[in-house]
Amino acid sequence: MKKILGITSIRSDYDLMSSLYAILHEDPDIDFRLLVAGAHLSATYGRSVELIRRDGFRILGEIECLIDGDSARARLKTASILLQSAVDLVSNWDPDVLIFAGDREDVLIGGMLGTYLRIPTVHFYGGDHEHDGHADTAVRNATSKLATAHVVAIEEHKQRLISIGEDPARIFVAGSIALDKFRLLKPMSKRELFAKFPEGKNLEGYALLVFHPVDAEEELAGEHYENILLALGDQGIPVAGNYPNSDPGHSHIVEVTRRYELEPGCWFFKNLEREWFLSLYRQARFIIGNSSSGILEAASLPLPAINVGLRQRGRLAGENVIYCDSDRAAIREAITHAMQPAFRDSVSRMTNLYGDGHSAERAYQYVKHTDFSAIRPKTEDPLRLRARQIQDQERS
């Protein structure tokens, strides 16, 4: 029986992978478990570990490691606690493969655990790139160099990994697993959804707001978040907003939500059950903020996505994405554009560049049937790989 351990520390990476986790969990030939840590266990972020339990996945261990401080030091200390606490747990269970997704500090810990404990690892969603200067891009690339193998969303990401010295034989293109949940889950009707909103909220025609801090604009995070609320208010558009992640600067955003939470046209939430959140997503007029969801997932509905500020700049995006600066006027102009019938009509006919909603099954087949132990040692020389690529190009 193949033992597979997934590492998850926040709701966002769990949502990226949950469709794959479900298939691995149901396979009688696989002993699949999760190492749950960080924000999942924090009341501040809604204790999303309860959602994992409701999904029925076996949890190898829960690591209470999140230092709930709004600073770069807190994030680094959190990572160090996760590493120290996970070593014996992972070593004692001795999985055949570790899997982890994305670009937060926990994936770097996963790569280190695999490297030093000599456990094969598969990193999901490597090869992406943003121009925003956020730590995530550097962490993603560093993790890719530590990982045994990669499951990426698109061919561009594969080529980017090759450009940093990864062997093409280690890279599998599956599409974005995050898109599968839109195909698999039946959404609530609008009537059912609106019945769940708190009494006294008037959210007809709402926008979905998901916004997180970025390193270069950490101190301005609250101001930019409020600019979004004000620009939406200028056009009479209510908002359903997600609380921010644990990146430095999140407290400035939380402070703004507390000032607006009693407004009839504003509703803010921490964690919602998957069916509720996806229904909220589907019924929104558009998504606004700076979440990767606007790049990856909104095109599957399809839904206009307004990306505010630096975060996510440089990523491959579909025609549904509108980039704008963080000032109120620029955001208001982007909202006007997103509401134009011609633009919405073009979005309604688009195809998602990141996949077809069947990526989890492809990734499952790759993870189940690949002998990662045979390729765990990374002996290839990047210079020789590059020379071979040049020769292949010359022959073609």
Q: pLDDT for 280-315, tens place per residue? A: 999 999 999 999 999 999 999 999 999 999 888 989
Q: Hey, do 2-176+356-395 and 187-348 end up sharing a CATH topology, with the first three levels equal?
A: yes
Q: Give percent of the chain above pLDDT 70.
A: 100
Q: Is pLDDT at 208 greater than 90 in this prediction?
A: yes
Which CATH number applies to 187-348? 3.40.50.2000
pLDDT tier for residue 249 given thresholds of 50, 70 and 90: confident
Q: Is pLDDT at 224 greater than 90 in this prediction?
A: yes
Residue range 9-26: average pLDDT? Answer: 95
- pLDDT score at 306: 98
More confident residue, 355 or 392: 355
Beta strands 97-101 and 59-63, pairing class: unpaired
Q: Is pLDDT at 390 greater than 80 in this prediction?
A: no
- 68-72, 180-184, 228-232, 332-336: which range is least confident on average? 68-72
- pLDDT score at 139: 94
* Token pair in block for residue 243: 């609380």
Q: pLDDT tens, 139-179?
A: 999 999 999 999 999 999 999 999 999 999 999 999 999 99
Q: How far, in Å, CA of 77 to CA of 371, rounded? A: 34
Q: Is pLDDT at 219 greater than 80 in this prediction?
A: yes
Q: pLDDT tens, 78-131?
A: 999 999 999 999 999 999 999 999 998 999 999 999 999 999 999 999 999 888
Instruction: Give the chain's length.
Output: 396
- pLDDT score at 192: 94
Q: Is pLDDT at 216 greater than 80 in this prediction?
A: no
pLDDT tier for residue 22 given thresholds of 50, 70 and 90: very high
- pLDDT score at 141: 96
- pLDDT score at 248: 82
pLDDT tier for residue 5 given thresholds of 50, 70 and 90: very high
Sequence spans of domains, the chain: 2-176+356-395, 187-348
Residue range 343-358: average pLDDT? Answer: 95
- pLDDT score at 134: 76
Residue range 46-63: average pLDDT? Answer: 95
Q: Is pLDDT at 392 greater than 80 in this prediction?
A: no
Q: What is the mean pLDDT of the chain?
A: 94
Architecture of the domain made up of 2-176+356-395: 3-Layer(aba) Sandwich (3.40)
Q: Give percent of the chain above pLDDT 90.
A: 81
Longest dimension (CA), the chain: 69
SS (H, E, C) the chain: CEEEEEEECCHHHHHHHHHHHHHHHHCCCEEEEEEEEHHHHCHHHCCCHHHHHHHCCCEEEEECCCCCCCCHHHHHHHHHHHHHHHHHHHHHHCCCEEEEECCCHHHHHHHHHHHHHCCCEEEECCCCCCCCCCHHHHHHHHHHHHCCEEEECCHHHHHHHHHCCCCHHHEEECCCHHHHHHHHCCCCCHHHHHHCCCCCCCCCCCEEEECCCCHHHHHHHHHHHHHHHHHHHHCCCCEEEECCCCCCCHHHHHHHHHHHCCCCCEEEECCCCHHHHHHHHHHCCCEEECCHHHHHCHHHCCCCEEEECCCCCCCCCCCCEEEECCCHHHHHHHHHHHHCHHHHHHHHCCCCCCCCCCHHHHHHHHHHHCCHHHHCCCCCCHHHHHHHHHHHHHHC
- pLDDT score at 395: 76
Residue range 18-44: average pLDDT? Answer: 96
Q: Is pLDDT at 201 greater than 90 in this prediction?
A: yes
- 199-208, 211-220, 226-235: which range is least confident on average? 211-220
Q: Is pLDDT at 184 greater than 90 in this prediction?
A: no
- pLDDT score at 82: 97
